[in-house]
């Protein structure tokens, strides 16, 4: 086996939604009141919905931009690669990158649909969230059967509506949803509350996979407003450990032993110690905490290895320690078009970190585990030999896909005598606040 023989499924990518996304799925007042894509006087784009304004953020879509032009400033669609917001351009960029299939999270609604949770008119929000799912499943994923893994969002502020939406999307062929790992930040009961029991039962009955994406519920902490932004970025993947520990102690995992939970964009290198610590803590504290009644005769690590899919972008250390994980629940993610994405060089970097593994292990990590976990099979739509890295890149070359870096002009030059200053967490917070108001 060599690099070009790999079949790669990415279980975490993102979409910057196109302006016309609701046009085919709503009409009349429902369309008139839907989220709107607008442009500022300075030419940057933002979404507006029920009084909320969501600017386009640079690092969310810097793929194809020179590294020295990365930044968090608001952007416009014209500054982005077409594949960021256009499904046909996305397929071109997937082919260039050797990606056979992709699971895509949304941008303006939040990874978990959280923006719909924040608005006052929940009746409207339900209509628009359902339309979002229709667009995502039918129009985006449906444009290229077998090349995408549909992932819906849910109105978890209304449990009856949530169950109904789960049943509806499954009939449309979607068996994956993205939810907030800490619903208390949305004003909802915690995952340990009986409020969620109908949800657990429904996802178990329908065999639906749950995605918990970093940053949706438990924000990555930063030490202070003067903390250099790179310190914050460094710890972002590991911030999912807070949610992972909470979900690991979820009693529903005992009642529903086949429940499936993906820790999206969390990495894997930290997990061996996390599991060691969970088992140690349980051995020392189970008698006074009564956790022994939850885990019964199992160790926390046993429960984790049964329920949780662990996803990585670039994690050589974790792959060297694969024996400490469940190799049947580890999957690759590209994170296109975010700043961590290695597009268009994913196969080169991935191969360098997996080539020490057996062919069976490589197949599991690159695509087999994703197929089994998310209940999708791209080989039902395309021959395997058409979806290898080599075949997809050959098609991209034949189609003339351009990967020339897309420059937006770069940062403003320093004034004479000016000394560069390290960007801090506080700078970022101020920028978010300013542009959210100014949009």
Decide: 334 and 313 in contact? Cβ < 8 Å: yes
- The answer as to whether 413 is a domain residue is no
- Please give the average pLDDT of every successive group of 10 residues along the chain, which has 439 residues: 97 96 98 95 90 76 83 75 96 98 96 95 98 98 98 98 98 98 96 98 98 88 87 88 96 96 96 97 94 92 98 97 97 95 97 98 98 97 97 98 81 61 80 54
How many structural domains does the chain have?
1
- The answer as to whether 164 is a domain residue is yes
User: Which pLDDT belongs to residue 412?
Assistant: 54
CATH of the domain at 156: 3.20.20.140
- The answer as to whether 312 is a domain residue is yes
Distances (CA, A) of 207 to 136, 177, 201, 259, 420: 20, 11, 10, 7, 53
- The answer as to whether 241 is a domain residue is yes
Pull the structure tokens for residue 427.
């700078």
Nearest CA to 81 among 385, 309, 401, 369? 401
Give this prediction's pTM: 0.95
- Length, in residues, of the chain: 439
Q: Residues with Cβ < 8 Å from 397, sequence gap 6 or more?
A: none
- The answer as to whether 415 is a domain residue is no
- Give me the domain span that covers residue 139: 3-407+420-438
- The answer as to whether 414 is a domain residue is no
Backbone angles phi, psi at 105, to 5 degrees: -95, 155
User: Which pLDDT belongs to residue 439?
Assistant: 43
Q: Residues with Cβ < 8 Å from 126, sequence gap 6 or more?
A: 116, 155, 158, 161
- The answer as to whether 112 is a domain residue is yes
CA–CA distance, 119 with 298 (Å, rounded to integer): 42
User: Which pLDDT belongs to residue 167?
Assistant: 98
- The answer as to whether 166 is a domain residue is yes
CA–CA distance, 165 with 198 (Å, rounded to integer): 13
Pull the structure tokens for residue 197.
């029991």
């Amino acid at each position: 086996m060599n690099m070009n023989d790999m079949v790669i499924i990415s279980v975490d990518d993102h979409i910057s939604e196109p302006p016309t996304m609701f046009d085919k799925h709503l009409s009349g007042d429902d369309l008139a009141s839907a989220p709107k894509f607008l442009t500022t006087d300075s030419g940057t784009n933002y979404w507006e919905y029920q009084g909320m304004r969501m600017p386009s953020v640079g690092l969310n879509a810097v793929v194809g931009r020179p590294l020295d032009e990365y930044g968090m400033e608001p952007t416009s669609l014209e500054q982005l690669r077409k594949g960021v917001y256009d499904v046909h351009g996305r397929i071109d960029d997937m082919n260039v990158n050797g990606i056979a299939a992709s699971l895509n999270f949304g941008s303006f609604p939040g990874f978990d649909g959280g923006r719909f949770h924040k608005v006052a008119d929940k009746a409207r929000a339900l209509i628009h969230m359902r339309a979002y799912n229709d667009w995502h499943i039918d129009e985006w994923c449906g444009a290229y059967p077998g090349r995408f893994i549909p992932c819906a969002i849910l109105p978890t502020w209304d449990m009856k509506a949530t169950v109904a939406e789960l049943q509806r999307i499954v009939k449309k062929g979607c068996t994956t949803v993205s939810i907030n790992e800490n619903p208390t930040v949305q004003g909802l009961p915690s995952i340990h509350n009986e409020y969620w029991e109908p949800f657990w039962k429904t996802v178990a009955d329908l065999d639906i996979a749950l995605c918990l994406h970093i940053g949706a519920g438990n924000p990555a902490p930063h030490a202070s407003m003067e903390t250099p932004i790179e310190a914050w970025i460094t710890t972002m993947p590991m911030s999912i450990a807070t949610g992972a520990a909470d979900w690991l102690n979820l009693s529903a995992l005992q009642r529903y032993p086949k429940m499936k939970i993906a820790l999206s964009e969390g990495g894997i290198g930290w997990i061996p110690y996390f599991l060691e610590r969970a088992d140690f803590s349980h051995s020392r504290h189970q008698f006074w905490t009564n956790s022994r009644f939850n885990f019964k005769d199992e160790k926390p690590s046993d429960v984790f290895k049964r329920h949780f899919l662990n996803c990585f972008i670039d994690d050589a250390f974790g792959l060297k320690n694969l024996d400490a994980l469940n190799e049947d629940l580890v999957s690759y993610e590209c994170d296109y078009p975010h700043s961590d994405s290695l597009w268009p060089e994913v196969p080169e970097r991935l191969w360098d970190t997996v080539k020490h593994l057996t062919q069976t292990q490589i197949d599991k990590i690159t695509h087999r585990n994703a197929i089994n976990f998310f209940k999708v099979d791209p080989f039902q739509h395309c021959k395997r030999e058409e979806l290898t890295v080599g075949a997809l890149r050959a098609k991209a070359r034949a189609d003339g896909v351009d990967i020339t870096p897309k420059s937006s002009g770069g940062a403003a030059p320093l004034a004479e005598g000016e000394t560069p200053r390290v960007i801090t967490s506080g700078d970022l917070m101020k920028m978010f606040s300013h542009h959210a108001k100014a949009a």
